[in-house]
Structure 1
Amino acid sequence: MEGYLLKWTNYVFGWQRRYFILHDGVLHYCKEKGSSKRGAIHLDISNVFKHPRNPLRFYIDTGCTSVHLKAFTVSEAEDWYWAIRREQSDRTDAPRQNPKEIPISEIISGKIGEMWSVHAQIQAAIDLIPSNMKKHIPGLDKIISLTEQMKIIGSETLGIIEDAEKNHLKLWNEPPEVDIGGVEFDKVQKERVEAGYDIGIDDDAIDFVDAQSHISEKIEEIEVNLLVPNDLMPHRSCLPVLRNPRQKINIWKVIKDSIGLELSRIAVPVYFNEPLSFLQRFSEDLTYSETLVKAATCPDSCMRLAYVACFAVSSYASNENRTMKPFNPLLGETYELQRDGFNLISEQVSHHPPVSAIHVDHEKYWFSGMTQVKTAFKGTYLVVNPSGTFHVGLKPYNDHFVWQKPLSNVHNIIMGKIYLEHYGTVEMSNIATGDKAVIELKKAGWFERPSGEVAGSILDANGVEKYKIYGKYNEGMNIIEPITGDTTVAWKLYPNPDAFEHSYYFSDFALQLNLPPELVPGIAPTDSRLRPDQRALENGDIKFASSEKFRLEEKQRASRKILEETGEIHQPKWFEQRNDEWVYSGGYWEDKAKGCFTGCPDIF
């Protein structure tokens, strides 16, 4: 059995995707399929356990350490767990070593492996500290010195064990000299050497090879190249500081004088925010981007339209329970994202009215759009109207799909549990072929909670229905052939992260959007990751987040006043206006490759 799993590394880098191969009682793993081996877990001396609360997770206890693994689906986790159990049971008839006779080399190598792992984690944490802050941290020099001593001791001990191993090999290869009581001396020696060698350094569960690769892995991930895609960047499974999901906030204080006003003009306290900018929230539309890759492989134009229609619905998949407000982007603020084979750049191109523009490029498709989110309080609920047009192009077929998003309501603003509802009719067309889709997001009744139900029809250029789409925007979408009833899954909701409720209900995709800028090198000085108020909120410092939010807003007002006095108009850096739409004008990735962003506004 083989395939990808997530492997827990440490609290800095979290879960990392690795390719695992189960063969002959050993679970090997490497970074990608076909790449060099990074480690091996010998199941003869290990135990496997299911996680008591998370069905996606299981862990392997080697006696020296625990290796925590996570599958992408519950069925995958079950398959891996039972495959490992079967592999162990198939080998129970093989001779096993008495645990009391485990050689000292195994114990030492295991402990040194742990020490090397700790050293790598400490070094990674130290490297994350900005240079100008290191001198202000008491005792840091001593910590660095001690970690270096750990490394030296580990190296020296490893050398001693290697010398001992050579002696074992020498005894193994020497010819027999005498018989002792009818038993050949070389057989006795072989048994002794075999006992120390078969599960020694080379075959130890999570041994030195794994420990050393663990360190080199950290170095590779820290010393990233300027244009390393974000899907090779560190992966985290929760925010640095967890939030109480049942925290009570008195929203009435804010909205009692704001009924009928545009939300962007209301001074919202920072504790109503989630630690993401709207530009980052905008990028979550690409969470299920693989749906577009599927579309680009279909020769049937109506099937391609069905996939793109399901992709449009997927933009609401991660919205359930996301009732906190993202930070309003500052004028000129940008956000970049490289992952899943695409390059994404977005920019706040206007402040009044607030307009955000986005452009995504992939080998198989492109995606672009703009949104002017118009919001207003209606007493007990909030109406959200995302005005703007969205486009998708499928490069293999020169398709060009166009649509607009429906309305959304935020209910129970005053009393009860706040919840979101997306409803209305979406019409999508393929300009290249004339095919059309009509998608209905069903509105709940007066006393009903939104079900998330979606249904739609895919029509060819002659108005003939070719496919139906159905599902729920909070579960997944399917494509059905009306005559045969054949069903194709367009996308299915990804499992929620472990700390889902305590991390603002962020999806796994959302958790990666605001990684510290030290881990995403080469970003523009206007990138959302550099916002100090947003970063402070993510780190749980509400007081500093509030003061920084106020400072940034005042700085923006001062800049706008200067523009008004001089008669100048703000010109976006990466987008330009064409026929009432904002389109990408190019140049961002070229400047990033040069490592030089010039002419960017000072907004932070």
Structure 2
Amino acid sequence: MKVTKGKETKIVLTKPFQLEGESDLEPSYRAPNLLHRLLSLLKNVRPGSDLTHFQLPAVFNFPKSQLQCYGESVYCTSSNLLSKCNNGQSPLDRFTSVVAWSISTTRPTSFGVAPYNPTLGETHHVSKGNLNVLVEQVSVNPPVSALHATDEKENIEMIWSQQPVPKFRGTSIEAQVHGKRQLKLLNHGETYEMNCPHLSIRILPVPGIDWVGNVNIRCPETGLVAEISYRSSHSFLGFGGSRKFIKGKILDSSLFKVLYEVDGHWDKTVKVKDTNSGEVRVIYDAKEVISGLKTPIIKDAESVWPTESALVWSELSQAIMNKDWERAREAKQDVEERQRKVLRDRAMKGETWFPKNFRVSYGKDTWEWDCSPTHKWVPEAPIIAQ
């Protein structure tokens, strides 16, 4: 944990989630009897219920906002996969590297706990090398986060939107993640469009958490497409089986031809097999990319925005790290009450709120939120990922 003095309060940053056994978060803050508490919390919830606005007590939070988790999946890496995407010699080389990069945004998480639901207008702004990342909560009903990241040196841009919709399934919780993601390699005039897997939280018979579902990646300019399936198979009563499994293919949609078969585990290695030559090679090694990650540092505390997640939730994060659950409860209530007061005051004045960093539009009958950045380049951030 990193605690640095800011303007009037503390900026609390924590180590990012990484491969199992490497993160120092889980053993340092988890409240006791989480499974029993979770079962008690859900005993009156009907299967099929939407849990989007379900309020979790502070003991079920880990010390991060959802915006921080979202941003970490982009800037917390120990190798520069984006540069590899940009430097590919052919469209197929670049596309294969983009597939590997997309897999790298799938990160481990912890059973029984969840990040904070961001407040309206909350932001998270971090730089890693030449990559500047900005995330903003552009809606709370429904909850929608928007991300803009740019690297002027590599001439790369990312524009994402994300809307999680968790539903209770009786013995599990399925969090569908709606929204679209774009990665633009501007030097090559290529845009890669993709979605992300869903999060499956098993409560019974064996507690666990996995990323599942289908991810489609396409580049309209080249006609290349990837169809990737995230799977988690279990034997009788949920024991054994293969977890964190990936299987799929890369194909040329104009020729209806499969070029590569994709196979592996997103927390280990992922390989592709050339359907013509039979050659097999590793395109992604999780240990090289999401291990050894360090806590971000504060470069300029005075420049941290008041809306920064690490400031908004600082008292709650500090209480969770200290296992002071009574203070955590109070701190969470303080943030939520301030948010309710702001919304009430705005409603009384008839004011319309607009995001600071995005222009937002959406179709009421679809999940497609269009979150267009208001600036071409994301500025350098006062928080630096190591």
Q: Same fold (TM over 0.5)?
A: yes
Alignment of 1:27-176 (within 5 A): none
Matched residue, 1:295: 85
Q: Does the Cα contact within 8 Å between 2:270 and 2:285 map onto a contact in 1?
A: yes
- Residue type of the partner of 2:162? T
* Percent of paired sites with the same residue: 22
2:244 to 452, 460, 470: 452
Summarize deviations over 1:45-75 as a string: whole Å, max 9, x none. Answer: xxxxxxxxxxxxxxxxxxxxxxxxxxxxxxx
Matched residue, 1:463: 256
Are 2:303 and 1:522 aligned? yes
Give distance in 1, aligned partners of 2:207 and 2:31. 12
Give distance in 1, aligned partners of 2:180 and 2:342. 29
Give distance in 2, aligned partners of 1:381 and 1:544. 30
Matched residue, 1:248: 33
Alignment of 1:546-565 (within 5 A): 546-565=329-348
Q: What secondary structure does 1:548 align onto?
A: helix
Give distance in 2, aligned partners of 1:587 and 1:436. 27
Summarize deviations over 1:267-317 as a string: whole Å, max 9, x none. Answer: 211111110100011013224472222121112212222221222222224
Counterparts in 2 of 1:309 and 1:130: CA distance versus 1, 3 Å: closer
Give distance in 2, aligned partners of 1:337 and 1:356. 16
Q: Does the Cα contact within 8 Å between 2:63 and 2:115 map onto a contact in 1?
A: yes
Give distance in 2, aligned partners of 1:450 and 1:326. 26
Deviation at 1:262, TM superposition (A): 3.0
Q: Does the Cα contact within 8 Å between 2:6 and 2:302 map onto a contact in 1?
A: no
Alignment of 1:307-456 (within 5 A): 307-319=97-109, 321-362=110-151, 363-364=153-154, 365-412=156-203, 415=204, 417-445=206-234, 447=236, 448=238, 449-456=241-248
Matched residue, 1:475: 268
1:284 to 69, 72, 75: 72
TM-score (norm 2): 0.80
Counterparts in 2 of 1:433 and 1:591: CA distance versus 1, 3 Å: closer
Cα RMSD for the two superposed structures: 3.2
Give distance in 2, aligned partners of 1:550 and 1:577. 29
Give distance in 1, aligned partners of 2:299 and 2:94. 39
Counterparts in 2 of 1:471 and 1:131: CA distance versus 1, 3 Å: closer
Summarize deviations over 1:499-534 as a string: whole Å, max 9, x none. Answer: xxxxxxx9644x525x5x587552211101112222
Give distance in 2, aligned partners of 1:567 and 1:317. 41
Counterparts in 2 of 1:403 and 1:536: CA distance versus 1, 3 Å: same
The structure with the largest alpha-carbon Rg is: 1
Alignment of 1:204-243 (within 5 A): 243=28
Q: Which has the higher strand share?
A: 2
Are 2:368 and 1:575 aligned? no
Give distance in 1, aligned partners of 2:187 and 2:90. 12
Q: Does the Cα contact within 8 Å between 1:285 and 1:314 map onto a contact in 2?
A: yes
Give distance in 2, aligned partners of 1:132 and 1:578. 35
Q: Is there any run of 5+ residues in structure 1 with no aligned partner, and where?
A: 1-10, 13-124, 134-236, 497-505, 594-604
Counterparts in 2 of 1:588 and 1:269: CA distance versus 1, 3 Å: farther
Matched residue, 2:53: 265
Task: Say which structure, 1 or 2, has more relative contact order (CA 8 Å, 6+ apart).
Answer: 2
Q: Does the Cα contact within 8 Å between 2:135 and 2:147 map onto a contact in 1?
A: yes
Q: Does the Cα contact within 8 Å between 2:193 and 2:218 map onto a contact in 1?
A: yes
Q: Is there any run of 5+ residues in structure 2 with no aligned partner, and where?
A: 10-21, 363-368
Summarize deviations over 1:106-133 as a string: whole Å, max 9, x none. Answer: xxxxxxxxxxxxxxxxxxx9xx567989
Q: Does the Cα contact within 8 Å between 1:574 and 1:587 map onto a contact in 2?
A: no
Give distance in 2, aligned partners of 1:327 and 1:587. 29
Give distance in 1, aligned partners of 2:25 and 2:183. 35
Deviation at 1:386, TM superposition (A): 0.3
- Residue type of the partner of 2:268? E
- Residue type of the partner of 2:256? G
Q: Does the Cα contact within 8 Å between 1:424 and 1:440 map onto a contact in 2?
A: yes
Deviation at 1:535, TM superposition (A): 3.2
TM-score (norm 1): 0.53
- Residue type of the partner of 1:349? V
Summarize deviations over 1:201-245 as a string: whole Å, max 9, x none. Answer: xxxxxxxxxxxxxxxxxxxxxxxxxxxxxxxxxxxx976995266
Q: What secondary structure does 2:160 align onto?
A: strand
Give distance in 2, aligned partners of 1:590 and 1:430. 27
Q: Does the Cα contact within 8 Å between 1:356 and 1:371 map onto a contact in 2?
A: yes
Alignment of 1:175-190 (within 5 A): none
Deviation at 1:416, TM superposition (A): 5.1
Summarize deviations over 1:418-454 as a string: whole Å, max 9, x none. Answer: 2112222222110222211111223425635452221
